[in-house]
Structures are given as structure tokens and as C-alpha cells.
């Protein structure tokens, strides 16, 4: 399949249309929703760029943490992790668990809300 324009280029074009053409003509609730829509497209652009690598390292960490089948899907690995935590099999004292969750959540937030204050705190904890 062709990718010219690429997915990212198409999304960027729509975002530019919202920001430069549509939003300035809107008022009130519609203007607010246009801003939200533009922010959502920014999220999509970050996701296109970051999700493949973030998911592959998340999967590698989960396979090791759970001693799981390397062929398992990411969603089934996360489901297993949830079950182990819920059953009490893994908890805050489990080696590597909180570190894995922190790395995964930092990656998620870098896509979802890269300016959120809690992300800066996670990356640069107070001395």
C-alpha cells in the first residue's frame, strides 16, 4: 500500500485545518470542542510515533516479570499481571513490579498528557 501522504501527514493536515481554519470561526461550546479535537490529534500523532517501541519494551518486561510465553499478546500479559496482583501473588514488595509499572505509565503519559505535573515528578523525583 502507498503511504504518501502518510498517516501522520493526513492527521497533521486535519489538525492544521481545525487550528487555522475551523476553530477561528467557532464560538462557545463548539470552539471548546474544536480545541479538544485538536489536542486529540496531537495525542494521535505522539501515539503513531511512540506506541510501537513502547509496546515492544512493555511486552519484553512483562514476559520476564511473569515468566510468560513470549508469544502471548500484550493484552493477555496485562490481564495476567492484573490477576496476579489481585490474588496477592504479586505486591509492592515484588522485585521489579513497581519499576515496570512506572516505566509503562511514563510511556503512556508521554503519549496521553506529556505536560502533566505527575510525569515530571516521576522522571525527576525530589532528592
Sole window of 3-11, 19-27, 49-57, 98-106 interacting with another protein (rule: CB under 8 A): 98-106
Binding flag, residue 16, another protein (CB under 8 A) = no
10 Å Cβ neighbour count for 77?
A: 20
Nearest to 65 by CA among 26, 29, 104, 118: 104
Closer residue to another protein in complex, CB, 12/34: 34
Binding flag, residue 23, another protein (CB under 8 A) = no
Binding flag, residue 14, another protein (CB under 8 A) = no
Total residue count of the chain as it appears in this document: 127
Closer residue to another protein in complex, CB, 2/93: 93
10 Å Cβ neighbour count for 60?
A: 11
Binding flag, residue 33, another protein (CB under 8 A) = yes
Q: Measured between alpha carbons, how far is 49 from 111 in angstroms, rounded to an integer? A: 9
Rounded to 5°, the CA angle 100-101-104 comes to: 85
Binding flag, residue 30, another protein (CB under 8 A) = no
C-alpha cell at position 86: 489481585
In the complex, which residues of this chain contact another protein (CB under 8 A)? 32-33, 36-37, 39-40, 43, 78-79, 81-82, 85-86, 88, 91-93, 97-98, 101-102, 104-106, 108-109, 111-113, 115-122, 125-126
Amino acid at each position: 500500500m502507498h503511504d504518501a501522504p502518510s498517516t501522520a501527514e493526513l492527521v497533521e493536515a486535519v489538525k492544521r485545518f481545525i487550528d487555522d481554519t475551523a476553530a477561528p470561526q467557532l464560538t462557545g461550546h463548539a470552539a471548546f470542542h474544536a480545541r479538544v479535537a485538536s489536542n486529540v490529534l496531537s495525542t494521535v500523532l505522539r501515539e503513531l510515533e511512540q506506541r510501537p517501541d513502547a509496546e515492544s519494551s512493555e511486552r519484553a518486561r512483562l514476559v520476564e516479570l511473569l515468566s510468560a510465553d513470549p508469544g502471548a499478546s500484550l493484552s493477555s500479559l496485562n490481564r495476567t499481571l492484573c490477576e496476579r496482583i489481585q490474588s496477592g501473588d504479586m505486591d509492592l514488595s515484588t522485585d521489579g513490579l513497581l519499576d515496570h509499572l512506572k516505566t509503562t505509565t511514563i510511556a503512556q503519559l508521554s503519549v496521553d498528557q506529556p505536560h502533566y505535573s505527575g510525569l515530571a515528578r516521576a522522571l525527576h523525583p525530589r532528592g
